[in-house]
Amino acid sequence: MKKTKKIIAWVLTGFFVFLFIFSGIQKLIGVKLQIKVLEDLGFAPSALIPFAIVEFVFAITILIPKTRKLTIYAILVWALIAGVLLLRHGQPPIISIVFVVVGATILWLQKETKIKRRSSLEI
């Protein structure tokens, strides 16, 4: 991967880490907006803790190169489910769309194509 692509991928990964840690902390301390959003989507306030734990797990595992790809796929599924829930409740899924775009961009930037070169002597 070229150096520029690597830097952009790490910046976007850092953006994800920041968002998940920030959101997880908000859920743990019980920020009223977080409680209201979850209640509007049909969740009990007690759902804040499991959601916060999942967000912290995402923030940690996305930093580990061996688990990054799987974590991004999990984030994409998480964002798609959240987007559907938001749409069903008449709210725009803007954050979900941002998460899908950023996650897909990270996957694309980290995609390494392995080209098997043939020797000119091989026929």
Query: What's the rounded Cα separation, in Å, for the pair 27 and 7?
Result: 30
Percent of the chain having pLDDT more than 70?
Answer: 89
The answer to whether residue 121 sits within a structural domain is no
Smallest Cα–Cα separation from 49: which of 15, 23, 16?
A: 23
Answer positive or negative: Cα dihedral of 96, 97, 100, 102.
Answer: negative
The answer to whether residue 12 sits within a structural domain is yes
* pLDDT one-digit tens code per residue, 49-81: 999 999 999 999 999 989 999 999 999 999 999
Q: Which residues span the domain enclosing 23? A: 3-110
How big is the CA angle at 81 (ends 79 and 82), to the nearest 5 degrees? Answer: 60
The answer to whether residue 50 sits within a structural domain is yes
Average pLDDT, the chain: 86
Q: Name the band, by pLDDT with cuts 50, 70 and 90, for residue 122.
A: low
The answer to whether residue 97 sits within a structural domain is yes
What pLDDT score does 50 carry?
A: 93
The answer to whether residue 123 sits within a structural domain is no
Q: Number of folded domains in the chain?
A: 1
Q: Is 4 helix (H, G, I), strand (E, B) or coil?
A: helix
